[in-house]
Amino acid sequence: MLFRILADIVVLLHLLWILFLIFGAVWGGRNKTIKIVHLSGLSFAILIQVFDWYCPLTHLEIWLRSKHDPFQTYAGSFIIHYVENLVYLEVSETTIIVFTILLCMFSLWLYWRRRRPNKGK
C-alpha cells in the first residue's frame, strides 16, 4: 500500500512539474533562482525528447508501481487515473518536441522582455 501511495504522489509531483515548466516564466521573472530552475528544466525536457529518454519521475513511478503489485494493470486511484492521463498524453513525440521547443522560446522571450527597460515610461 505504501508503494501505491508513493507512486500516486510521484504522479502528482510530475503534473506539478509539467505545470511549472509551462507557467514558470511568469513566476521566474520575479525570482532569479526560479528562472534558473525553470530554464534548466525546459532544457532537460528538450534533451529528454531529443534523445528519447524517459523522465526520471516516470521511471520512479513505474518502479514504485511494480513494487506495489507487479501484475496489476490499474494501480491508481480514480483521481490519479485522470492525472496520469494529463501527464502521459497520447500525442506523437514530434508534437511534444515542437511544443517543448516553442514553450522554451516563449519563456526566453518573456524573460528577455521583462529584462529590457521600458523606454516609453
pLDDT at 68: 75
Distance of alpha carbon 80 from alpha carbon 11, whole angstroms: 7
Distance of alpha carbon 19 from alpha carbon 23, whole angstroms: 6
pLDDT at 27: 86
Q: What is the pLDDT of residues 23-41, one digit of tens each?
A: 999 888 888 999 999 999 9
Range with the lowest mean pLDDT among 6-20, 33-47, 72-86, 103-117? Answer: 72-86
Per-residue HEC secondary structure of 79-114 comes to: HHHHHHHHHCCCCCHHHHHHHHHHHHHHHHHHHHHH
pLDDT at 96: 87
Q: What is the pLDDT of residues 50-104, one digit of tens each?
A: 898 889 998 998 898 888 766 655 555 656 777 777 788 888 888 988 999 999 9
Q: Which is it for the CA torsion 70, 71, 77, 83, positive or negative?
A: positive
Residue 116 C-alpha cell reads as 529590457
Distance of alpha carbon 19 from alpha carbon 119, whole angstroms: 33
Task: Please say if the pLDDT value at position 120 is more than 60.
Answer: no
